[in-house]
Amino acid sequence: MRGVLRQAVLLIGLAFLPAIGQALYFRGNPAVLAKPADAHEVTLAEAKGWGQSVLWLDARPHEEFDSGHVPGALSLNEDDWNGLLPAVLATWKPAGKVVVYCSRKSCNASHGVAERLRNEAGLKNVYVLPGGWEEWEENAHR
């Protein structure tokens, strides 16, 4: 019995090793554990709370947009930026908000589109929904 207990303690100790290593490596740097603070990111609840004042922009490729998108969203991706941008700017409302999304958390197309809208077109109130279309679909019936 004592032998089994000793082996269990040894296994638990081994399992803790990587955690201890990480804690030592990131000592004094708690920011690494926190959610990155990006002022341009919004949660789905926040964006939905803005109601009709939101212009939703879908930064995914055409074929993904065609197979499903946020109701009322316009397509704007960098594959065809020049072709798609005029329709977006004609719809944009100065007092409204723009929320850009792509497929999921791991994609970065929404950030690229949002940055160009801010830096090149000079639009304000441009936000990114980090969870993207995946998050929208998961919450569609809630």
Partner 1 sequence: MKISLAFAGSLLLFVLPLRASSLTWENLEADLHPAITDKEAVAHFKYKNTGDQPVRITAVKPSCGCTTAAPPNEPVAPGASGEITATFHIGDRIGMQTKTIHVTTDEPGSNTTLTLKADVPKLLEINPTFLYWSKVQPVTPRVILAKVGGDFAVTKLEVSSSDSDVKVETSADPKDKTQFTITVTPKKTNRPLNAMLKIQPDFPKDTPKMFYANVRVDAHPENAPASSPAASPAATPAATP
Residues that bind partner 1 (CB under 8 A): 3-4, 6-7, 10-11, 14-15, 60-61, 64, 77-83, 85-86, 89-90, 92-95, 103, 106-109, 112, 120-124
C-alpha distances in Å from residue 10, one per residue of 15, 24, 99 = 9, 21, 51
Q: Which of 46/123 has CB closer to partner 1?
A: 123
Distance (Å, rounded) from C-alpha 17 to C-alpha 38?
Answer: 32
- Cβ 37 to partner 1, closest distance in Å? 21
Distance (Å, rounded) from C-alpha 73 to C-alpha 99?
Answer: 9
- Cβ 103 to partner 1, closest distance in Å? 8
- Cβ 36 to partner 1, closest distance in Å? 17
Q: Which of 34/64 has CB closer to partner 1?
A: 64
Q: Which of 120/137 has CB closer to partner 1?
A: 120
Query: Which residue blocks in the chain are alpha helix, DSSP H?
Result: 2-25, 44-49, 62-66, 81-91, 109-119, 132-138
